[in-house]
Amino acid sequence: MRADVIVIGGGVMGLLSAYLLANAGKRVTLLDRSAAGSEASWAGGGIVSPLYPWRYSQAVTALAHWSQDYYPGLGQQLLALTGVDPEVHVTGLYWLDQDDQADALAWAQREGRPLHEVPVESAYAAVPSLGAGFLRAIYMSGVANVRNPRLVKALRAALQGMPLVTLREHTSVAGFVQDGARICGVRTGDGELLADHVVVTAGAWSGELLQSLGLSLPVVPVKGQMILFKCAEDFLPSMVLAGGRYAIPRRDGHILVGSTLEHVGFDKTPTEDALASLRASAETLLPGLESAELVGHWAGLRPGSPEGIPFIGEVPGHDGLWLNCGHYRNGLVLAPASCQLLADLMLGREPIIDPAPYAPLGRLG
């Protein structure tokens, strides 16, 4: 059956875009070349905030603020619907010895965000596992992390229960079907699939897909490596960030530490050098991790983009072709707002925020 919308890419952007469009009555076919949610959406940390929110443009800030408010309700909705808890875990976040602390505080005052300088002693009192020697701290209350592997599992389960959604995993897209200037479907190994609209949510691979149309989308893979420890459930009560590395507590005592930033193309092989560097950072930040069980080390590919501003909207000159990609380091935090904005634009609704900064117009080669 012909779909209203084909979504290419089953990460959090594709899953949530499909979910919102199907909820609005659209017939959606979601395609992924492997298993849904198995790339960057699975590999990331899941902090529901940009790592350094004061360093980003208003375009990123607007998406982040909307999403932060939306996440708790989304988590509850998916748990009720699927029985899978994405674990939206509110812990707050401490930044330690931040060089641009003054910029952070000015941003918080300007944006009305609950980020404040705190005595370093209060950081040590709140996080007894913190390493010695830190001199300054700023803290933002209300910051959550989402257990992203469970988020994508919950979204996938929700889609499988929706009669308007067809999920086709292990289906690669080789190109687009065109009717004049209009995009009206995709070519796969199983043949052509047709739809009124095609949405590219293929993360780091989005640029490669658009090359077949002679379009240059400035989205490139940026490798990030992470490690995972298992500790007591009360080992780390808050997220902490210092020296460019962060530690994220899950409710069950797992601690994520990340991450690297590597421009090595599509290679996502974990390396011993990164493991050593991440372990050293982890043990400086939280010395108790030296004796903790290391249970995982992996890499993922972020969709790097200029200034981290995603591409959301219809591609000019290619009617029917839409983008929701290029979120760089902030895919998980920006996903709810990005997907809601995409749905608003596709459905002709009043958009939740000004769509102009994300429009592909003038941003593609």
Q: What is the pLDDT along the chain (365 residues), one digit of tens a residue?
A: 799 999 999 999 999 999 999 999 999 999 999 999 999 999 999 999 999 999 999 999 999 999 999 999 999 999 999 999 999 999 999 999 999 999 999 999 999 999 999 999 999 999 999 999 999 999 999 999 999 999 999 999 999 999 999 999 999 999 999 999 999 999 999 899 999 999 999 999 999 999 999 999 999 999 999 999 999 999 999 999 999 999 999 999 999 999 999 999 999 999 999 999 999 999 999 999 999 999 999 999 999 999 999 999 999 999 999 999 999 999 999 999 999 999 999 999 999 999 999 999 999 97
CA 350 to chain centre: 24
Helix (H) or strand (E) holding 207: helix 206-211
Query: Domains (ranges, CATH) in the chain?
Result: 3-50+150-219+306-358 (3.50.50.60), 93-141+220-304 (3.30.9.10)
Residue type, 149: P
Alpha-carbon gap, residue 10 to 17, rounded angstroms: 10
Q: What is the pLDDT of residue 41?
A: 95
Question: How deeply is 68 buried, as exposed, middle or buried, from its count of CB atoms within 10 A (0-12, 13-18, 19+)?
Answer: buried
Alpha-carbon gap, residue 262 to 152, rounded angstroms: 25
Helix (H) or strand (E) holding 80: helix 58-82
Question: How deeply is 109 buried, as exposed, middle or buried, from its count of CB atoms within 10 A (0-12, 13-18, 19+)?
Answer: exposed
CA angle 228/234/237 to nearest 5° reads 80
Q: What is the pLDDT of residue 365?
A: 76
Cα–Cα nearest to 34, from 148, 147, 154, 156: 156
Q: What is the pLDDT of residue 147?
A: 96
Alpha-carbon gap, residue 125 to 181, rounded angstroms: 62
Alpha-carbon gap, residue 238 to 248, rounded angstroms: 7
- Coil, helix or strand for 244? coil
Q: What is the pLDDT of residue 267?
A: 96
Contact yes or no for 32/15 (Cβ under 8 A):
no
Those residues with Cβ within 8 angstroms of residue 138's Cβ, 6 or more apart along the chain or in another chain: 94, 95, 98, 101, 104, 105, 115, 116, 117, 118
Contact yes or no for 137/125 (Cβ under 8 A):
no
Q: What is the pLDDT of residue 12?
A: 98
